[in-house]
């Protein structure tokens, strides 16, 4: 048997429309930011109502996707997980690093609605995927067999969060007028601390692109300060 006998060619069946426009500040795992809204838009020839018939009966789905933003950088047998501060190395298969031999990821998201009118798309919540991510397969989640509450989670034993109040500079307050859903999204993203673990400088200003705005913030000693929210 040659090594080429099991080579397969993957074609995206869908693409993600997401609140997250860049890798930085995108949640490290699915479900951490339930305010994150997204659409899985199926592409021809897979955009048929028959292909999603019955999916609306499930509350959650698995998305098998591609790490398209980092795939060209290749892979290494050992990587530096951000959770460990970028100092310790672990085997790539002991992590969820994006730099994998086959740049594929797996994300569990909440399915809100299946649309089959003008286009075939799935409305989802809690995705940890940036805008434009290719999706290669969709599978329903089966909690009775796939939920393992007593499973061990290795070095990733708990969520990395910041338990600090969030305050807004005057400009940011004005930008959030009548934008309660955007404010919820921003606060959920910041509470899960998107900073690299090795960066703890209170003077440093961080920025990210969420929905159609750029957000800048600082993590100070006793609170998180959102400095500005401006159009992207």
Structural contact between residues 69 and 23, judged by C-beta atoms closer than 8 angstroms: yes
Domains of the chain and any CATH numbers: 3-146 (2.40.30.70), 166-231 (no CATH)
Q: Which residues contact 102 (CB under 8 A, 6 or more apart)?
A: none
pLDDT by residue (tens digit) across 37-68?
999 999 999 999 999 999 999 999 999 999 99
Given this model, what pLDDT does residue 175 score?
Answer: 94
Given this model, what pLDDT does residue 85 score?
Answer: 73
Per-residue pLDDT of the chain (232 residues; tens, 9 = 90+): 566 678 888 999 999 999 999 999 999 899 999 999 999 999 999 999 999 999 999 999 999 999 998 888 999 999 988 777 777 899 999 999 999 999 999 999 999 999 999 899 999 999 999 999 999 999 999 999 999 989 998 888 776 788 899 999 999 999 999 889 999 999 999 999 888 777 777 889 999 999 999 999 999 989 999 999 999 8
Given this model, what pLDDT does residue 105 score?
Answer: 96
Strand partners, 218: 225
Given this model, what pLDDT does residue 1 score?
Answer: 54
pLDDT by residue (tens digit) across 91-118?
999 999 999 999 999 999 999 999 999 8
b/e for 33-71, b at 16 or more Cβ within 10 A?
A: bebbbbbbbbeeeebeeeebeeeeeeebbbbbbbbeeeb
Write down the pTM of the prediction. Answer: 0.90
């Amino acid at each position: 048997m040659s090594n080429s006998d099991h080579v397969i060619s993957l074609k995206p069946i869908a693409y993600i429309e997401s609140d997250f426009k860049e890798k930085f500040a995108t949640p490290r795992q699915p479900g951490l930011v339930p305010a994150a809204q997204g659409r899985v838009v199926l592409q021809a020839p897979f955009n048929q109502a028959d292909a999603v018939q019955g999916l609306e009966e499930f509350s959650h789905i698995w998305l098998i996707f591609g790490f398209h933003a980092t795939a060209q950088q290749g892979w290494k047998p050992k990587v530096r997980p951000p959770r460990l501060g970028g100092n310790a190395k672990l085997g790539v298969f002991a992590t969820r690093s994006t730099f994998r031999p086959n740049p594929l990821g797996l994300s569990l998201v909440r399915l809100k609605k299946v649309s089959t009118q003008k286009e075939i798309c799935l409305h989802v919540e809690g995705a940890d995927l940036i805008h434009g991510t290719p999706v290669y397969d969709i599978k329903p989640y089966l909690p009775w067999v796939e939920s393992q509450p007593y499973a061990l989670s290795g070095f990733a034993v708990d969520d990395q969060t910041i338990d600090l109040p969030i305050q807004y500079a005057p400009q940011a307050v004005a930008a959030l007028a009548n934008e309660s859903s955007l404010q919820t999204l921003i606060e959920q993203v910041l509470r899960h601390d998107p900073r690299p673990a090795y960066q703890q400088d209170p003077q440093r200003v961080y920025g990210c692109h969420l929905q159609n705005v750029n957000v800048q913030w600082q993590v100070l000693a006793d609170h998180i300060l959102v400095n500005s929210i401006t159009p992207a």
